[in-house]
Chain A
Amino acid sequence: MDQLLDFGPVFDNLDKILLGFWATIRIAAMTAVLSLFLGTVLAAFRVSPTPVLRATGSFVVNLLRNTPLTLVLAICILAINDNLKVTLSDSEGINRYWWGVLGLSVYTSAFVCEALRSGINTVPLGQAEAARSIGLTSTQSLRMIILPQAVRAVIAPLGSVMIAMIKNTTVVGAVAYGVEAAAVMKNLFYDFGASIPIFVGIAVGYMILTLPTGFLFGWLAKRMAVAR
């Protein structure tokens, strides 16, 4: 029974595992930036005064929200990259990294958009009416009154979206870019035989990434909360 709990392979391959998590972090960081940007654009579409943009926004969000991430990434990599030969970089590794990040960002942006939009919905109508009554233009009231309250209201949900995104990097590894932590785990399984210690090592690694992110966003949400 001893060999079941032998953590030797985990410590012997710590460098590989850490490299895997470094790749995970690189994917997650770039995706966080891209998806927050794309999500904000989508949210702007969904609350714009122009019906065409509103319709486009909700069409895109509903499309992305109801498609499995695996399918989004498979379309990015297998269909657009491999089949249509649309590449983002000459180096194969970098190309796959960017397709993975792009697919994950597009998918995550739908959830970022929904979080932001629900934030705008939490701002009471009276705030906007007050802003107008003191003579602010619509841009001013958006910039100074509504957005600051809306963003503060959605910090916690955005944190959940980001945690899910970090966990979703495993799918990027599986479909597109096989050097991040979950792919490392699979390779170790092939090299050393599958074992519980290797799984536990990788699982702890993910908990080290996700739990502090959760605490950070929870702390920020409390700190920034708007008292009503």
Chain B
Amino acid sequence: MSRSGANVLFDAPGPRARLRNNIITGVSALLLLGVAWVVYDRLNDRGQWAGKLWDPFTEWQVWDNLILPGLKNTLAAAAVASVLALLFGVVFGLARLSDHWWIRLPAGAVVEFFRAIPLLILIFLAFFVPPAISPVIADGPLGNLQRTLVENVFFVFGVEINAGNVTVPAFAALVFGLVMYNGSVLAEVVRAGVLAVPRGQSEAAYAIGLRKNAVMRLVLLPQAITAMMPAVVSQMVVLLKDTALGFVIAYEDLLSSGFRIVPANYANLIPAAIVISIIYIGINMALSHLANRLERRSRRSRKTSARTLAADATTGGAVGLSTTDAATGAD
């Protein structure tokens, strides 16, 4: 990969090209300023720069009571979902590498299924389906299993069961969708990370008499983790962005507080939208920056012989994307 696209596309400019570039620079700068002015002017016409619309953001109570709780909910959903998705990813990623077809095939089917369908309908599945089907299950042979599962496992996420009726809070539905979708993507990342370790490494490990388990644990995984870190962190950005889908099922996240609650109180939708956009962009850019730094470091690293999986620039987000090339690190 060349240092920058400009190297392939342009020679060092001579005097005439420099003059032409300067003219283009001037004209485009004027055009862009013109566009910015038009946007500013339109908003000004509608009175969107009026001080009273922006004043709420200078008051601590607004942040303390409305925005920060939303941010906290967003980060909570992202944190819980990240941890569980990583767990899901490691389990299913390694299962797909299993030597036994009866482990490999079902794991592959699960991963491909959850990657192929939109995140939002997974969230709808978790939100709407359990309340509807749980009374039927409660009457059937699996009724006790359902009750035990909810009371001992899913209660941590706020899922409740009352006389056979299971109710799922928005938080649990959101986390379920995020874990299934991002976990499947991470499973591919894990698989690609292990496969990115050169064959000779495992051959050498088998040659000195290590078993399958030890080869994976002592030789392959430590190198794979370094190689896949950037891809994992950039998947976290996707996950964090996707928490905004909670808005659709009325989860009280940052988007909800910035788009429903603050404007409802102060009638300042546009300023509120601008403020929460800045918060989202700030957090995500910090994470992306971390992913890029990890990527550079891991490309230099001599602790791993695996090739680094890219912190995928093309990962398309909301309902995620990059299937094969996030995993194979096409760079």
Contact = CB atoms under 8 A, between A and B. Distances in A.
Interface of A: 1, 3-4, 46-47, 49-53, 56, 62-63, 65-71, 74-75, 78-79, 83-84, 107-108, 111, 114-115, 117-118, 120-125, 127-128, 132, 138, 142, 146, 156-157, 160-161, 163-165, 167-171, 174-175, 182, 185-186, 189, 193-196, 199, 202-203, 206-207, 210-211, 214, 218
Interface stretch (B156-164, B192-200, B237-245): B237-245
Most buried by B among A67, A71, A108, A117: A71
Contact of B319 (A63, A74, A117, A171): A171
Give the top 7 A-B pairs by smallest Cβ distance, nearest first.
A164-B321, A69-B318, A68-B244, A164-B316, A66-B284, A194-B132, A194-B128
Contacts of B25: 50-52
Interface size class of B (residues with CB under 8 A): 35 or more
Interface in B103-155: 113, 116-121, 124-125, 128-129, 131-133, 136-137, 140-141
A202 B288 CA distance: 33
Given A175-B248, A193-B132, A160 B321 contact: yes
A121 B5 contact: yes
Contacts of A4: 133, 136-137
Interface in B255-287: 255, 259, 269-270, 273, 276-277, 280-281, 284-285
A171 B132 contact: no
Contact of A78 (B10, B119, B141, B269): B269
Contacts, number: 237
Contacts of B1: 121-122
B29 interface: yes
20 contacts: A3-B136, A47-B5, A49-B9, A49-B13, A50-B28, A52-B32, A56-B32, A68-B318, A70-B245, A70-B255, A74-B247, A79-B269, A84-B270, A121-B2, A123-B2, A163-B321, A167-B320, A169-B118, A194-B129, A210-B117
B13 A70 contact: no
Nearest to B244: A68
Nearest to A204: B117
B11 interface: yes
A108 B285 CA distance: 18
Give the interface SS of chain A, mostly helix, strand, loop or mixed.
helix
Interface in B1-46: 1-2, 4-11, 13, 17, 21, 24-25, 28-29, 32, 42-43, 46
A32 to B, nearest CB: 13
Query: What secondary structure prevails in chain B residues at the interface with A?
Result: helix
Contact of B316 (A53, A56, A120, A168): A168
B208 interface: no
A111 B116 contact: no
Contact of A199 (B11, B125, B321): B125
Given A127-B8, A214-B324, 16 more contacts: A49-B9, A49-B13, A50-B21, A62-B281, A66-B280, A68-B318, A108-B316, A111-B317, A118-B331, A121-B5, A157-B330, A168-B317, A189-B128, A189-B129, A194-B128, A199-B129
B305 interface: no
A170 B136 contact: no
A74 B24 contact: no
Given A4-B133, A182-B124, A65 B317 contact: yes
A146 B285 contact: no
A171 B121 CA distance: 10
A167 B122 CA distance: 12
A108 B318 CA distance: 10
Contacts of B288: 65-66
B279 to A, nearest CB: 10
B322 interface: yes
A189 B320 contact: no
Nearest to B119: A167
Given A157-B314, A167-B119, A206-B118, A69 B132 contact: no
Contacts of A71: 244, 255, 259, 273, 276-277, 280
